[in-house]
Structure 1
């Protein structure tokens, strides 16, 4: 299943708010957006306009560019995982099998 950008942006905003120890109400009051709408944005159910996103970022004192960069990094990571799973499934490899290969430098030589 494809992850939506609005879901990833919501996750990034929620993490920023929680890391600051702030409540939804505090941020919604500061951003001048309803508590319910901010909650919907954080849960990825609403896609905020650029103005609203800028207002939320301002209330969190987090640059919009940082939120978008973090969201892009998460999307790229998820896409690379999906591509690896797709490649492995077409190659007949069971991706649920985990193998640990030690670093060569950590192996003892007798």
Structure 2
């Protein structure tokens, strides 16, 4: 399954907030972003603009470059996991394709 960048960025932001022991409300107030929208960003449901990401990073006191770098690292891990799972296709599996039967239409 393909991992979306917005989901990975959301995970990184949530991890940073939780590590700081801060609530969504604290960060949303500091970033001047609605609590609901910040929650959606953290859950990977909303694609945050660069301005919004900058505001959230400012509220968390972490550089945007760190968020993007961690997101890139996490995405690379996901991609290698996906590649490894598709590389293990069992070649002994047989696929049976039924023969086409033509049917007369009256």
* TM-score when normalising by structure 2: 0.83
Structure 2 Cα separation of the partners of residues 76 and 90 of structure 1: 25
Larger Rg: 2
RMSD: 1.1
Say if 2:7 is the partner of 1:7: yes
Q: Which has the bigger relative contact order, CA under 8 A and spacing at least 6? A: 2
Over residues 22-70 of structure 1, what are the superposed CA-to-partner deviations in whole Å (9 max), with x where a residue is unaligned? 0000000000000000000000000000000000000000100000000
The runs of 5 or more residues in structure 2 that have no matched partner are 93-106
Count how many residue pairs are aligned between Structure 1 and Structure 2: 92
| Separation in structure 2 between the aligned mates of residue 52 and residue 33 of structure 1, nearest angstrom | 8
The structure 1 segments of at least 4 consecutive aligned residues displaced by more than 2 Å after TM superposition are none
The answer to which structure has the higher helix fraction is 1
